[in-house]
Amino acid sequence: MQKLPGHSMISQNFQSDLVHFPDFHTHQKGNVFSIFNVLPDEGIPDQCFSWGIHPWYLNENWDKELEKIVASSSNPRLLAIGECGFDLIKGPEPKLQMKAFVAQADLAIKLGLPIILHCVKGSHLLQEFLKNNPNPPAIIWHGYNQKPKIAENLISFRLYFSFGKALLKQDSNAQQWLLKCPLDRIFFETDNSEISISAIYQQASLLLGIPVGQLVHQVRENWNRISNRKMT
């Protein structure tokens, strides 16, 4: 990963106890302002979480896994369904992926929660889903690092974008799309990277020329607009 010049200095100067940076998608437990993503057999954590069937772990028994999620769905700490979605590199056949995604989207709609989307080489499947489902849940495409054109083509739908470590890479697709993306569609995340969530916000702040505090305010508003389970 490429570091921007002066990046670590900014990190040191920036740390503030007054600002809490929500992390909308992470595989690390412990930060109370983050949404921990539950993968199979991980168990429900003692903090806010998202839970869905990741396409990597999707098989014919997916409905059993979905039943477990449904059984936990009244847990107020369940904040989103996912990550789930489409992966044509490492997932099962597309038909199965679509079936499982539709079922999880239905659950998300029922609960009034967003979907955290995993999408690798599957944007045509996402498009197909959105065209066939006129009232989709809010969908947050996590770790977005595709060409801006792909996002632009889908922006008329209820689609949101969560930006992570790719923002730190000079001229990445993520950087390019962040600069064009409507601010009411953005979120930030660490996913499985070691980079701190504050560094992601700082980088977005530098790129956009918007103070981090304002970005935090923005993403909280974005969240509360699309989810029944609010961030207070």
Strand partners, 140: 116, 160
| Nearer of residues 87 and 191 to Zn ion, judged by Cβ | 191
Q: From the CB of residue 142, how many other CB atoms can be counted at a distance below 10 Å?
A: 26
Give the interface size with Zn ion as a residue count (CB under 5 A).
Answer: 1
CA distance 52 to 116: 8
Minimum CB–partner distance for residue 210 and Zn ion (Å): 26
| Nearer of residues 87 and 222 to Zn ion, judged by Cβ | 87
CA distance 145 to 121: 12
Residue in 191, 200, 203, 205 binding Zn ion, rule: CB under 5 A: 191
Instruction: Decide: helix, strand or coil at residue 186.
Output: strand
Q: Which residue's Cβ has the minimum distance to Zn ion?
A: 191
Minimum CB–partner distance for residue 134 and Zn ion (Å): 28
Binding mask 121-140 for Zn ion (x = CB under 5 A): --------------------
Q: From the CB of residue 158, how many other CB atoms can be counted at a distance below 10 Å?
A: 16
CA distance 160 to 182: 9
Residue 122 DSSP label: -
Stretch that binds Zn ion, among 56-64, 132-140, 187-195, 221-229 (CB under 5 A): 187-195
Number of H helices, E strands in the chain: 8, 8
Under the binding rule (CB under 5 A), the answer on residue 23 touching Zn ion is no
Residues that bind Zn ion (CB under 5 A): 191
